Amino acid sequence: MSDLKARFEAAVANSKNLSERPDNATLLKIYALYKQATAGDNADKKPGFGDMVGRAKWDAWNGLKGVSSDDAMQQYVDLIESLS
């Protein structure tokens, strides 16, 4: 296992134990970086207008199209460390 992957998994665990809940924009960034790091580019169908949360999450993830898995992992680690 690479050092980056180990640090990413540690950051995922740490994200569940942050001292205070991040704002919604930060939560969307955390979600999007996690999805990009683990699943790659968004290929899901965009949710309908009735699903505001689903659309926000889809838009955040879709905004990272083309970012490599390693880059997304590093950004995720850096973001969680900045919040800890």
| Domains along the chain with CATH numbers | 3-83 (1.20.80.10)
Query: What gap in Å lies between CA 18 and CA 46, rounded to an integer?
Result: 30
Mean pLDDT of 51-75: 97
62 band by pLDDT with thresholds 50, 70 and 90: very high
pLDDT tens digits, one per residue of 17-56: 999 999 999 999 999 999 999 999 999 999 999 999 999 9
Q: What percent of the chain has pLDDT over 90?
A: 96
Q: What pLDDT is recorded for position 1?
A: 60
For tokens 């505001």, name the residue. Answer: 52
